[in-house]
Amino acid sequence: MKGWRCYNCNNDKGDPGLDFYGDKPICPKCGLDGTNQRYRGLFAALKVIHFDAPDPALAKGSGRHTRGIGHAACDPKLKVGTVQATGEPTVVNCPACRESQAWIDADKTVNFNPEDDFPVSIDLAGTMIVKG
């Protein structure tokens, strides 16, 4: 099954673009058919990202970054490398992986890591230099 985004619709947060899955780009909300040349520009194909759950034996004592089990949580036949996968549960968009117990357990333990937080300052004044 493929992932699609319909830009004729908004998601449940009100942001532009409704994500859905199906064999063809036909929006389940508005019914727009992306196979029609006239509406093709309102659809984007999504890359499906699977969950590669942490390997239980390798996760012990390895800190924040662990090696995955090497296959998608939704289907052991889907090997990492033949499909796109990550161990970061917040990035996973495969609906079947998000229903797996491995993803549910990992999503419960996601915490914000202070190492990822750093101050950013932007100087908007003086960023453009015009030479005459």
pLDDT tens-place string over residues 4-31: 999 999 999 898 999 999 999 999 999 9
pLDDT of residue 108: 84
Phi/psi of residue 108, nearest 5 degrees: -65, -30
Q: Check residue 100 and report its DSSP letter.
A: S
Q: Are residues 58 and 41 in the same domain?
A: no
Which residues, given as ranges, of the chain have pLDDT below 50?
132
Q: Are residues 30 and 59 in the same domain?
A: no
pLDDT of residue 1: 73
Q: Are 22 and 60 in contact (CB under 8 A)?
A: no
97 three-state secondary structure: helix
Q: Are residues 21 and 59 in the same domain?
A: no
d(C-alpha 44, C-alpha 42), whole Å: 7
Query: Is 84 a member of any domain?
Result: yes
Query: Is 117 a member of any domain?
Result: no
Q: Are residues 81 and 101 in the same domain?
A: yes
pLDDT of residue 127: 56
Query: Is 98 a member of any domain?
Result: yes
For the chain, the residue count is 132
Instruction: Work out how many domains the chain is built from and give that number.
Output: 2
Q: Are residues 68 and 29 in the same domain?
A: no
Whose CA is closest to 21, among 39, 36, 33, 5?
Answer: 5
Model pTM above 0.75 = no
Q: Are residues 54 and 97 in the same domain?
A: yes
Query: Is 105 a member of any domain?
Result: yes
pLDDT of residue 132: 47
Quote the domain boundaries for residue 91: 50-111
Q: Are residues 55 and 20 in the same domain?
A: no
pLDDT of residue 13: 87
